Amino acid sequence: MSKAQRQHRITELLEHEIISTAAQLVARLKAEGVQATQATVTRDLQDLGTIKIRDLHGSRRIVIPATPSMAAAPLDHLRRMMGEWVGSVDNSGNLVVIRTPPGCAHVVASALDRSALEGVLGSLAGDDTILVIASEQRGGAALVTEFRALAGLEERPVVRQKGRRK
């Protein structure tokens, strides 16, 4: 089972069952035949932006917040997601295009949206491409520099060809 599949199953379990610790979640996953260590599940819970609450019945449980403001992800989370999944970052004006492997764009876009970075008006994710709209004040070029640094991508030199006469 891939990381994305495991995290999807964790999300489903948290939505339908009362689970209050990572150890309980590991046991629940094991009962379904999913092998994961407690450290892995703890990282998954962090990646998903989970929080612990007391529900209406007084039970402690792990939940995924419904509102993005409650689920603000730390910059380290965004850095991990971008470092793992981002292949390239380019811009045209205030539009920034982030490329990922197929099926991974939504993971990075979710982390980006939850990080609440200044100057990001919003993002739209496809299968392997994310379109990020930068504010006028911030601009796409500034976001590209920040995104490349977060992803651990080296700055690519600009290669320009001189016009040729025939």
Decide: 13 and 30 in contact? Cβ < 8 Å.
Answer: no
Residue 43 sits at the vertex; the CA angle it makes with 109 and 16, to the nearest 5 degrees, is 80
Residue among 143, 130, 128, 129 nearest 93 (CA) = 143
Residue 127 sits at the vertex; the CA angle it makes with 97 and 85, to the nearest 5 degrees, is 65
Domain count, the chain: 2
Q: Are strands 51-54 and 95-99 parallel, antiparallel or unpaired?
A: unpaired
pLDDT at 54: 79
DSSP reduced 3-state for 63: strand
Same domain (yes/no): 87, 140: yes
Give the model confidence (pLDDT) of 149-162 as tens digits: 999 987 654 444 55
pLDDT at 81: 87
15 within a domain of the structure (yes/no): yes
Domain end marker among 38, 63, 88? 63
pLDDT at 156: 54
Rounded to an integer, the average pLDDT of 18-23 is 92
Largest CA distance in the chain: 81
The CATH number for 30's domain is: 1.10.10.10
Give the model confidence (pLDDT) of 72-104 as tens digits: 556 888 888 899 899 999 999 999 999 999 888
> Which tokens go with 122?
């919003």
- How large a percentage of the chain has pLDDT more than 90? 50
Same domain (yes/no): 80, 21: no
Rounded to an integer, the average pLDDT of 13-38 is 93
The CATH number for 118's domain is: 3.30.1360.40
Same domain (yes/no): 85, 52: no
Give the model confidence (pLDDT) of 110-122 as tens digits: 888 878 788 999 8
> Which tokens go with 10?
């964790």
pLDDT at 73: 58
Rounded to an integer, the average pLDDT of 49-70 is 74
pLDDT at 71: 44
Decide: 60 and 21 in contact? Cβ < 8 Å.
Answer: no
pLDDT at 132: 96
Alpha helices in the chain (DSSP H): 3-16, 22-31, 38-47, 75-85, 105-115, 140-151
Confidence of residue 1 (pLDDT cuts 50, 70, 90): confident
166 within a domain of the structure (yes/no): no
**Interhelix angle 105-115/75-85, nearest 10 degrees:** 160
129 within a domain of the structure (yes/no): yes
Q: Which domain holds residue 131?
A: 75-151
| pTM attached to this predicted model | 0.54
Across the chain, mean pLDDT equals 85
